[in-house]
Homo-oligomer: A and B are copies of this chain.
Amino acid sequence: VSASVRVSFDVAVAWIDAIARRLDIEDAPLSEASGRVLGEGIRAPRALPPGDCAAVDGLAVRAEDSLGASAYNPLPVPAFAVMASEVLPAGTDAVVPLGFAERDEAGRVVLVEPVFRGANIDRQGAVAAAGALLIAAGTRLRPQHIGLAATAGMARMRLVRRPRVRLAIVAAARWGGSVDSNGPMVRAAVERDGGLIVESSLVESLVAAADMVLVIGGAGRGREDGAAAALAASGTVEIHGVALVPGEAAGFGHTAAGVPVMLLPGMPAACLCSYELFAGRAIRRLGGHDPSLPYRSRIMTTARKIVSSIGTTEICPIRRLHDGRIEPVAAFAEIGLMAAVEAAGFVIVPEASEGYPQDARVTAYLYDEK
Contacts and interface: CB of A to CB of B under 8 A. Distances in A.
Interface in A30-53: 30-31, 33-35, 48-51, 53
Interface in A99-115: none
B337 A147 contact: yes
Contacts of A322: none
Given A127-B338, A175-B49, A175-B87, A150 B34 contact: no
Given A173-B86, A175-B50, A341 B185 contact: no
Interface stretch (A18-26, A69-77, A136-144, A251-259): A136-144
A84 interface: yes
Nearest to A81: B223
Contacts of A143: 185-186, 188-189, 192, 272, 275
A154 B180 CA distance: 10
Interface in A122-148: 122, 126-128, 134-135, 140-148
Nearest to A272: B144
A180 B147 CA distance: 9
Contacts of A145: 341
Interface in A171-220: 171, 173-177, 179-189, 191-192, 220
A336 to B, nearest CB: 6
A295 B296 CA distance: 12
Count identical subunits in the complex.
2
A15 interface: no
B341 A134 contact: yes
Contact of A294 (B53, B335, B370): B370
Nearest to A58: B222
A362 B195 CA distance: 37
Interface in A318-356: 333-338, 340-341
B86 A176 contact: yes
A51 B181 CA distance: 18
Residue of A48, A122, A148, A180 with most chain B CB atoms under a 10 A cut-off: A148
A17 interface: no
Interface string A150-185: 110111000000000000000101111101111111
Contacts of A224: 57, 83-84
Contact of A151 (B85, B175, B297): B175
Contact of A179 (B51, B83, B141, B153): B153
A179 B45 CA distance: 14
A76 to B, nearest CB: 21
16 contacts: A33-B184, A49-B176, A83-B171, A83-B173, A87-B176, A134-B338, A135-B341, A143-B192, A143-B275, A147-B182, A147-B271, A150-B184, A155-B179, A290-B370, A294-B370, A296-B369
Interface of A: 30-31, 33-35, 48-51, 53, 55, 57-58, 81, 83-87, 98, 122, 126-128, 134-135, 140-151, 153-155, 171, 173-177, 179-189, 191-192, 220-224, 266-268, 271-272, 275, 290, 294-297, 333-338, 340-341, 367-370
Given A134-B341, A143-B189, 6 more contacts: A50-B176, A57-B222, A83-B224, A141-B188, A142-B340, A143-B188
